[in-house]
Amino acid sequence: MSSRELILGRVRAALRDRPRPGPVPREYRRTFPAADLDLLVDRLVDYRAEVHRVGEADIAATVARIVTGAVLVPEGLPAAWRPAGAVVDDRLAPDRIAAAAAVLTAAAVAVAETGTIVLDASPDQGRRIISLLPDVHVVVLRPAQVVASVSQALARLDPARPLTWISGPSATSDIELNRVEGVHGPRHLHVLLLDR
Amino acid sequence: MTTFLGMPATAPRGVGQLRGDRTFPQAAHAALGDAQLRRNLRHATATIRSRSGRVIAELPDWQQLRAAGSALKADVMARLPQLLQQLEARVSEAGGVVHWAADAHEANAIVTDLVRRTGSDRVIKVKSMATQEIGLNEALEAAGITPVETDLAELIVQLGDDRPSHILVPAIHRNRSEIRDIFRRSMPGVDPDLTDDPPVLAAAARKYLRETFLSTTVAVSGANFAVAETGTLAVVESEGNGRMCLTLPDTLITVMGLEKVVPTWADLEVFLQLLPRSSTGERMNPYTSMWTGVTPGDGPQNFHLVLLDNGRSAVLADPVGRQALHCIRCSACLNVCPVYERTGGHAYGSVYPGPIGAVLSPQLTGVADNASLPYASSLCGACFDACPVKIDIPSLLVHLRNRAPHPRAERAMMRAAAYLMDRPRAYARAQRAAKLARIAGRRGRGLPPPLSGWTAGRDLPPLPEQTFRDWWARRARAAEEA
Ligand code: SF4
């Protein structure tokens, strides 16, 4: 007998008492008011991300002000957003990606209540690796992408895509529970929240 | 398909980390003498508790979320065969390969073989309870493969030649100067003038591991959730070491306990709210990675999922005990437990310490192999209140005590009692628990076995409506308010 059959057989045998649990109570909040951008900003700042509220026309200039050094961008990032001299990720090797000072991406969804930004590897966000190795991650967020809650974010996302949920910069609390930013991921997270 | 398979097998002896070499009272005795350990633990658990309380208070529907989480898990257990097969089908369709491991030996053999076939002699690891449970690192080392733990706390444990003592913060028993000493002693290429400033220590780990991340082609992870409906796996973490392992290598091997499956994509809305808030006391952990099979051009191009039994079907076979499988490994029950706070995680002898360890480990191994663990508790009930999926750990402890071999257990219980009498705060909690036990217990009169023999012939003195301590506390409060 294969282990698959063995395990499934054991699990079926273990359920010989035929448990019939009741329906799952869904009385938790499932409808939400419109996303509160100020709450999102508040949560992001609480996570020590830096938030910049800018117009779409000011993205490139803002990035140039934040970052000194090479800025990596995914192939699908709108041309108007790219700072001068941006390096496009056309399947760059990991060490080239790691050498960039910063990466600039779009996002898929953001959750106001938790201060979370989700990337789904769409062309304007790129492969997962590019938002991982550079020390600074700059994310551009449109107000329409912000939802109030985790459940609304899940409803908007496609599980077939690789998803990265980001809440603040990389952090550890392993040394006496002190929060230390940046262990392996980007040490700095900048969010460019566009005007409505 | 109606073959009778007999009693489901428990986790085998001699492999992995589910049994201690001493009983809980023996091991706890040593820990109680270590003042540094207790200071480190008290600081850490108190910090997480207060953080967690703050962010939980932000959610008006916390209790409704707990109720949903609890019911969802009961539903998963009842439908486990179908959900596992659905998960297998979805993962395979998305380009992953699913393996089934009946026990620790088989899981270790599957992973070792998969790593060998890649030709790599090193793997990078995301912190995972399942791989610790099966002793995967030891098995890989025996096969000439070097496992590198990449979570900072796991790295501290690995470099210190130590064992993890907490589900979430495995090096919780170490303070900064101890960590600095470990790094100085065991981290190749480390700056000898390293200070014990946490950012400096974190930076040293970053520097040490960067090259390893970029040059290792195989990673091993666990999983926090696996969605049957979509075949999606999820890993929650903080440091980005998880993202590194899940993104950079060519091959990813995920070892997951059977019980981690959840029915639908939308059900994650419950668990992604419950887990971070009760675990680290954050609204959301810094990073969550989700992937479904393989994505051409992005991340590992070979994905293997190992579904692990290793005693879980034995736990499932007990209609009362099976709720221990609902655990989402948040560690909230550890942080509120007065016994854990004093003894630390090593005393439990298993990778699963604290209240959940006291009920899960004996069930995975068979109660006889971990007979003192169900007594490693004051039954104060704090773990039940803290558990985001409402596992009734106190009732499970009592249930398992009934199944433990008695003479050994009786000794353990007496020692636990002596221990409690020495410690006023734990004693106060135990008194409250005694009231509860009376309500829940056998007609409110006797004690649970093994002491039921004693109470069969006589009545326990009725517990007063109000204990002296309650009365004193209330009196003091009234005086303050006046
Ligand atoms: S038993 Fe409950 S509180 Fe304890 S670790 Fe598991 S989920 Fe968390």
Q: Token digits for B67?
A: 């109720």
How remote is the CA of residue B146 from the centroid of ligand 1, in Å? 31
The answer to whether residues A100 and A69 touch, using CB atoms and an 8 Å cutoff, is: yes
Tell me the HSE value of A35 on the side-chain side, using a 13 A CA sphere.
Answer: 26
Please classify residue A80 by burial: count the beta carbons closer than 10 Å to its beta carbon, then call 0-12 exposed, 13-18 middle and 19+ buried: exposed
Q: Is residue A26 part of a domain?
A: no
Within 113-152 of B, beta carbons closer than 8 Å to A belong to: 150-152
The per-residue DSSP string of A168-186 comes to: SS-EEEEETTEEEE-SSS-
Q: Are residues B308 and B421 in the same domain?
A: no
Distance, in Å, from the CA atom of B429 to the CA atom of B282, rounded to the nearest integer, reads: 28
Q: Is residue B5 part of a domain?
A: no
Torsional class of B72: left (φ above 0), alpha (ψ -120 to 50), beta (otherwise): alpha
Q: How many residues does chain B have?
A: 482
Within 116-145 of A, beta carbons closer than 8 Å to B belong to: 116, 121, 127-129, 132
Q: Could you say which DSSP state residue B262 is in? A: E
Query: Which residues are CB-neighbours of A36 under 8 A, at least 6 positions away?
Result: A112, A148
Q: Could you say which DSSP state residue B11 is in? A: P
Place of tokens 């439990």: B348
CATH number, domain of B223, equals: 3.40.50.10420
A3 vs B: CB within 8 A = yes
pLDDT the model gives residue B412 = 60
Q: Are residues B433 and B289 in the same domain?
A: no
Contact assignment for A159 to B8 by CB distance below 8 Å: no
Distance, in Å, from the CA atom of B117 to the CA atom of A61, rounded to the nearest integer, reads: 49
Q: Are residues B116 and B226 in the same domain?
A: yes
How remote is the CA of residue B171 from the centroid of ligand 1, in Å? 19
Distance, in Å, from the CA atom of B266 to the CA atom of B264, rounded to the nearest integer, reads: 5
Q: Is residue A187 part of a domain?
A: yes
Q: Is residue A29 part of a domain?
A: no
Contact assignment for B286 to A114 by CB distance below 8 Å: no
Distance, in Å, from the CA atom of B421 to the CA atom of B429, rounded to the nearest integer, reads: 11
Total domains in chain A come to 1
Within 65-104 of B, beta carbons closer than 8 Å to A belong to: 65, 67-68, 71-72, 74-75, 77-78, 80-81, 84-85, 94, 100-102
CATH number, domain of A171, equals: 3.40.50.10420
CB atoms closer than 10 angstroms to residue B476: 10
Q: pLDDT digit of tens for each residue in chain B (482 aa)?
A: 444 555 679 999 989 999 988 899 898 988 888 888 888 889 889 999 999 999 999 999 999 999 999 999 999 999 999 999 999 999 999 999 999 999 999 999 999 999 999 999 999 999 999 999 999 999 999 999 999 999 888 889 999 988 888 888 888 888 899 999 999 999 988 988 899 998 899 889 888 999 899 999 999 999 999 999 999 999 999 999 999 999 999 999 999 999 999 999 999 999 999 999 999 999 999 999 999 999 999 999 999 999 999 999 999 999 999 999 999 999 999 999 999 999 988 999 999 999 999 999 999 999 999 999 999 888 899 999 999 999 999 999 999 998 876 655 555 655 665 565 556 565 556 555 554 444 443 333 334 444 444 434 444 444 445 555 555 566 556 655 55
Q: Looking at the CA of residue B328, tell me the nearest atom of ligand 1.
A: 7
Q: Is the CB of B73 under 6 A from ligand 1?
A: no
pLDDT the model gives residue B165 = 84
Q: Is residue B374 part of a domain?
A: no
Distance, in Å, from the CA atom of A147 to the CA atom of A162, rounded to the nearest integer, reads: 20
Looking at the complex, report in whole angstroms how far the Cα of residue B183 sits from the nearest Cα belonging to chain A.
13
Please classify residue A94 by burial: count the beta carbons closer than 10 Å to its beta carbon, then call 0-12 exposed, 13-18 middle and 19+ buried: middle
Q: Is residue A8 part of a domain?
A: no
Q: Is residue B234 part of a domain?
A: yes
pLDDT the model gives residue B426 = 58
Q: What angle do CA A5, A7, A13 make, to 5 degrees?
A: 100
Best of B63, B269, B289, B323 to substitute, by most chain A Cβ atoms within 10 angstroms, is B269
Q: Is residue A14 part of a domain?
A: no
Interface predicted TM-score (ipTM) over 0.90:
yes
How do strand B96-101 and strand A171-175 relate by DSSP bridges? unpaired
Contact assignment for A174 to B151 by CB distance below 8 Å: yes
pLDDT the model gives residue B145 = 98
pLDDT the model gives residue A173 = 75
Q: Token digits for A118?
A: 């989700």
Residue B72 with chain A: CB contacts under 8 Å: 24
Please classify residue B257 by burial: count the beta carbons closer than 10 Å to its beta carbon, then call 0-12 exposed, 13-18 middle and 19+ buried: buried
Nearest to B64 among A28, A116, A121 (CB): A28
Atom 6, ligand 1: which residue's CA is nearest?
B327
Of B284, B313, B342, which one is at a domain's C-terminal end? B313
Nearest to A26 among B5, B68, B100 (CB): B68
Q: Is residue B197 part of a domain?
A: yes
Distance, in Å, from the CA atom of B301 to the CA atom of B162, rounded to the nearest integer, reads: 34
Residue B84 with chain A: CB contacts under 8 Å: 8, 11
| Ranges of residues in chain A whose predicted pLDDT is under 50 | none
Best of B66, B70, B291 to substitute, by most chain A Cβ atoms within 10 angstroms, is B291
Nearest to B100 among A3, A165, A175 (CB): A3
The per-residue DSSP string of B39-58 comes to: HHHHHHHHHHHHHHHHHHHT
Torsional class of A142: left (φ above 0), alpha (ψ -120 to 50), beta (otherwise): beta
Distance, in Å, from the CA atom of B300 to the CA atom of B235, rounded to the nearest integer, reads: 15
Q: Are residues B57 and B171 in the same domain?
A: yes
Please classify residue A143 by burial: count the beta carbons closer than 10 Å to its beta carbon, then call 0-12 exposed, 13-18 middle and 19+ buried: middle
Q: How many residues does chain A have?
A: 196
Please classify residue A45 by burial: count the beta carbons closer than 10 Å to its beta carbon, then call 0-12 exposed, 13-18 middle and 19+ buried: middle
Q: Could you say which DSSP state residue B298 is in? A: B
Q: Is residue B53 part of a domain?
A: yes
pLDDT the model gives residue B446 = 38
The answer to whether residues B426 and B339 touch, using CB atoms and an 8 Å cutoff, is: yes
Total domains in chain B come to 2
Q: Is residue A7 part of a domain?
A: no
Classified as helix, coil or strand, B223 is coil
Q: Is residue B275 part of a domain?
A: yes
Q: Are residues B289 and B414 in the same domain?
A: no
pLDDT the model gives residue B411 = 57
Domain boundaries, position B420 = 408-481
Of B224, B215, B232, B240, the residue nearest B150 (C-alpha): B240
pLDDT the model gives residue B154 = 87
Q: Is residue A143 part of a domain?
A: yes
| Segment holding B432, helix H or strand E | helix B424-440
How do strand B232-237 and strand B287-292 relate by DSSP bridges? antiparallel
Distance, in Å, from the CA atom of B305 to the CA atom of B437, rounded to the nearest integer, reads: 43
The answer to whether residues B320 and B268 touch, using CB atoms and an 8 Å cutoff, is: no
Place of tokens 């004996």: B362
Q: Is residue B84 part of a domain?
A: yes
Classified as helix, coil or strand, A125 is coil
Distance, in Å, from the CA atom of B99 to the CA atom of B117, rounded to the nearest integer, reads: 15
Beta strands per DSSP E along A64-187:
71-74, 87-89, 102-105, 109-111, 116-119, 136-141, 146-147, 163-166, 171-175, 178-181
Q: Are residues B423 and B307 in the same domain?
A: no
Domain boundaries, position A186 = 34-194
Of B285, B313, B341, which one is at a domain's C-terminal end? B313
Best of A2, A11, A130, A136 to substitute, by most chain B Cβ atoms within 10 angstroms, is A11
Q: Token digits for B246?
A: 């899940």
Q: Is residue B379 part of a domain?
A: no
Query: Which residues are CB-neighbours of B351 under 8 A, at least 6 positions away?
Result: B16, B17, B18, B129, B132, B133, B164, B357
Distance, in Å, from the CA atom of B441 to the CA atom of B457, rounded to the nearest integer, reads: 17
